[in-house]
């Protein structure tokens, strides 16, 4: 488990993407003020990051090209941000669905990203063994689909940036009540500030299409590789929620809807 708040300087073991890189003239990340990531603070209401990815930007087109190149050459280590300028990295707030083509990648390095969400298509990265979104301070949660990466064994995550982390216990954003998808809910373009993701297409648990189904959202904290992560579930039924595994001790023991009123275990601030 990684803790970026330690006072000792850290060596970048995963590729240089820091703002101090030679020739860098702009910050590559935005400051996040969702909650205090250094000490226990008031339990105010927390919301999802609402920004959408600008799919017309040159930065996004560059990322798409990097993903396509990595998928085509079958590389096992993928560090896309190392090949992007600080200005470009700052414009990337999510990853493209085309990451599902990265089936040969064993180490996915997103060190120092400006990401606020990861798409569920990460579940198709069947060879993924190591996941490194370390110092991505605006990345507070992950899709439940990450648990479907069968080879994932190691992770390096800035845990103090996570909802419900054991050190600080920041609150979880409140989730949408169960609702049947209709024409009013465009699953390919939902509002991320309300739903978390920017698109919801299939059940996180059974992979059934959610078109016309009743969407049940829930939070659950589970150990994924090295770390206990807050996972967002978009389920097609209450039975799929009931099929979720039990969280580890010292975390909320059932799937829940978040919100400031959620009772969490006491923070283990250190």
Asked, for residue 149, whether it belongs to a domain, the answer is yes
Distant-in-sequence contacts of 184-192, Cβ < 8 A, 24+ apart: 185/215, 187/211, 191/50, 192/48, 192/49, 192/50, 192/51, 192/52, 192/116, 192/117
Residues 209 and 202 sit within 8 Å (Cβ to Cβ):
yes
Say what the pLDDT of residue 213 is: 86
Residue range 28-41, pLDDT digits in tens: 889 999 999 988 87
Say what the pLDDT of residue 23 is: 41
Asked, for residue 207, whether it belongs to a domain, the answer is yes
Is the pTM higher than 0.85?
yes
Mean pLDDT of 262-268: 89
Asked, for residue 39, whether it belongs to a domain, the answer is no
Burial string for 195-204 (b: 16+ CB within 10 Å, else e) reads bbbbbbbbbb
Please count the residues of the chain: 270
Residue range 65-105, pLDDT digits in tens: 999 999 999 999 999 999 999 999 999 999 999 999 999 99
Residues 6+ positions from 236 with CB-CB distance below 8 Å: 203, 205, 206, 208, 210, 213, 214, 215, 216
Phi, psi values for residue 111, rounded to 5°: -55, 130
Asked, for residue 20, whether it belongs to a domain, the answer is no
Asked, for residue 159, whether it belongs to a domain, the answer is yes
Asked, for residue 137, whether it belongs to a domain, the answer is yes
| Tokens standing for residue 27 | 């910050």
Cα distances (angstroms) measured from residue 8 to each of 4, 11, 135, 162: 9, 10, 15, 21
As for how many domains the chain has, the answer is: 1
Q: For the beta carbon of residue 258, count every other beta carbon within 10 angstroms.
A: 22
Given a cut of 70, whether residue 194 has pLDDT beyond it is yes
Residue range 202-219, pLDDT digits in tens: 999 999 999 888 899 999
Question: 120: domain range?
Answer: 58-242
Asked, for residue 13, whether it belongs to a domain, the answer is no
| Tokens standing for residue 154 | 């190691």
The alpha carbons of the chain give a radius of gyration, in whole angstroms, of 18
Phi, psi values for residue 221, rounded to 5°: -105, 120
Asked, for residue 201, whether it belongs to a domain, the answer is yes
The structure tokens 């698109």 sit at: 199
């Amino acid at each position: 488990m990684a803790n970026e708040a330690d006072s000792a300087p850290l060596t970048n073991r995963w590729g240089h993407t820091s703002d101090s890189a030679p020739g860098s003239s702009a910050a590559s990340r935005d400051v996040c003020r969702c909650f205090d990531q250094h000490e226990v603070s008031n339990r105010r209401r927390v919301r999802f990051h609402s920004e959408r990815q600008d799919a017309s930007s040159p930065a996004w087109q560059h990322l798409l090209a990097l993903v396509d190149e990595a998928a085509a050459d079958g590389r096992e280590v993928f560090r896309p941000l190392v090949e992007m300028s600080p200005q470009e990295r700052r414009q990337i707030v999510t990853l493209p669905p085309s990451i599902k083509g990265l089936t040969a990648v064993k180490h996915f390095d997103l060190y120092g990203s400006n990401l606020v969400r990861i798409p569920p298509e990460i579940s198709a990265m069947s060879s993924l063994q190591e996941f490194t979104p370390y110092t991505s301070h605006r990345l507070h949660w992950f899709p439940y689909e990450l648990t479907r990466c069968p080879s994932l064994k190691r992770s390096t995550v800035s845990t103090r940036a996570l909802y419900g982390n054991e050190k600080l216990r920041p609150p979880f954003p409140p989730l949408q009540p169960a609702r049947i998808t209709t024409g009013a809910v465009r699953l390919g373009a939902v509002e991320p500030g309300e739903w978390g993701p920017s698109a919801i297409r299939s059940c996180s648990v059974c992979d059934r299409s959610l078109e016309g189904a009743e969407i049940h959202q829930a939070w659950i904290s589970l150990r994924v590789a090295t770390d206990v992560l807050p996972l967002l579930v978009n389920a097609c039924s209450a039975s799929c929620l009931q099929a979720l595994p039990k969280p580890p001790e010292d975390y909320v023991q059932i799937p829940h809807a978040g919100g400031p009123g959620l009772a969490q275990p006491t923070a283990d601030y250190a």
